[in-house]
Amino acid sequence: MNNWQKSDSQIQVKFLTKQEKYAVPDTPFYVPHNVTPAGLNELLNQLLCEGASDSKNKKFQFSFLINDEILHSNLAEYIAENNISSEHDICIEYIEATPAPEPLDCLEHDDWVSAVHMSSEWILSGCYDNSLHIWSGESKHKHLLSCTSHSGPIKGVSWIQMWINENGNSMASFVSVSQDQTALLWEWNIDENVAKPIFVYRGHERSINCVHAKPSESVFVTGGWDCTLKIWLTDFNAINNEEELSAKRHKRDRINAPLTQVPKSTLQGHKEAISTVQWTEDNDIMSASWDHTIKLWDAEYGGIKTEIVGNKSIFNAHYSHLNHLIITCSADRHIRLYDSKSSEGSIVKKIFSSHKEWVQSVRWSTTAEHLFVSGSFDNDLKLWDIRSCNTPLFDLLGHEDKILCCDWSKPELIISGSADRTLRLYSVK
């Protein structure tokens, strides 16, 4: 430890961790005042080597937090910027560092990729040339199928469910929404690799911007330029009578066209275009709009439970089921964090700044409560930790034009779609 005692200016620190396998003695250590995270990492690895024989040949990577904020600068700069007294021990928490995602694949399309959603096994993408595409979610991500029934650019897609039909075939359903003011419910026969729209949903008076299917249930919600949210039922809930269901299926097959469905209910309250809809907890819906607001709705009764008022048009938003926080993005290049359960609904909890152009898409990790990704018109996809506001963990490079959508539904895979006509995939360890 002598090499940590050569500096004339030293600071006394204590190391703490919640990860017991990396615990070191909680006694104070003297470190140089200008020690960097890399230097702290070297010191911790020395301590771990001294404390356990099975760690001698291992090199661990850690992130360091002071007051629940990740340290990026040297210690002296951080202390000065945050007015922290160095007269007492400075407690530094350390956690296992998030590994850098690795570029995995690039899936080429014929036009701008404007929508993407991944299930456990497949990737669904939508384009500005009105087409939908299904890709294998495993190994080489093979293109499986193209679907064309919309008459306008695709703005949103969402997987619904899987089942086995009466013939023993594996089936999947998904929904797509478009600037043509319609939503389409698709049935995909996986074994025969054939997909067709079985219902067309009409009711929006302008372009439909977003869609989200409620997991494991036959209901989905849409939001559009007409400022309304609409809740729709799929085939399985819309028709309870088996004879009526059989008759409708026969009619649909006979005319070889999707049957029209109307909304179950319409939720009104936004004053401008709706950019995001998402099922949150139980029977609640979160929506975000260009009118600067986030609204949480009771889907059963149609009322607004909570309203969060911002000061910018919201281009995209996402709710985390892990931490119950909402992230939003706007044209001012910033990402904002809100607590949906806070009584101080109008106060932004944190602002994340690094993008150089407006931010179009944000998505939480489904397994790591502190992590999210953002895609911007500056062509960059960034991986963030909410404990680091001004410095993203990683820039995920590769796109040559603005990013229009991203998804992190599968924990080990981040996906982004761009005006460069590609989907890019990044592996997460």
- Nearest Cα neighbor of 269 from 234, 298, 238 is 298
102-427, which class in CATH?
Answer: mainly beta
Contact by Cβ (8 Å): 415, 425: yes
> How many helices (H) and strands (E) in the chain?
4, 34
pLDDT of residue 84: 87
DSSP 76: H
Domains in the chain: boundaries: 2-96, 102-427
Distance, CA of 427 to CA of 310 (rounded, Å)? 34
Distance, CA of 233 to CA of 100 (rounded, Å)? 41
Distance, CA of 24 to CA of 387 (rounded, Å)? 23
| CA distances from residue 361 to 18, 27, 84, 309 in whole angstroms, order as listed | 32, 45, 36, 19
pLDDT of residue 87: 79
pLDDT of residue 113: 98
pLDDT of residue 298: 96
Return the CATH architecture of domain 2-96.
Roll (3.10)
pLDDT of residue 245: 55
pLDDT of residue 326: 97
CB proximity list for 422: less than 8 A, separation 6 or greater: 106, 107, 108, 109, 113, 399
| Sole residue written with tokens 């004339």 | 8
Which ranges of 167-285 does DSSP label H, i.e. alpha helix? 235-238, 242-255
Tens of pLDDT along the chain (429 residues) come to 334 444 458 999 999 999 999 999 888 989 998 999 999 999 999 999 886 655 556 789 999 999 999 999 999 999 999 888 877 889 999 999 999 999 999 999 999 999 999 999 999 999 999 999 999 988 789 999 999 999 999 999 999 999 999 999 999 999 999 999 999 999 999 999 999 999 999 999 999 999 999 977 889 999 999 999 999 998 654 544 555 556 665 655 655 679 999 999 999 999 999 999 999 988 899 999 999 999 999 999 999 999 999 889 999 999 999 999 999 999 999 999 999 887 665 689 999 999 999 999 999 999 999 999 999 999 999 999 999 998 999 999 999 999 999 999 999 999 999 999 999 999 999
Distance, CA of 426 to CA of 429 (rounded, Å)? 10
pLDDT of residue 242: 52
Tokens of 80: 């000065």
CB proximity list for 228: less than 8 A, separation 6 or greater: 204, 266, 267, 268, 270, 274
The dihedral built from the CA positions of residue 308, 292, 409 and 236, taken in this order, carries a sign that is: positive
Distance, CA of 416 to CA of 375 (rounded, Å)? 7
pLDDT of residue 119: 95
Tokens of 323: 């931490």
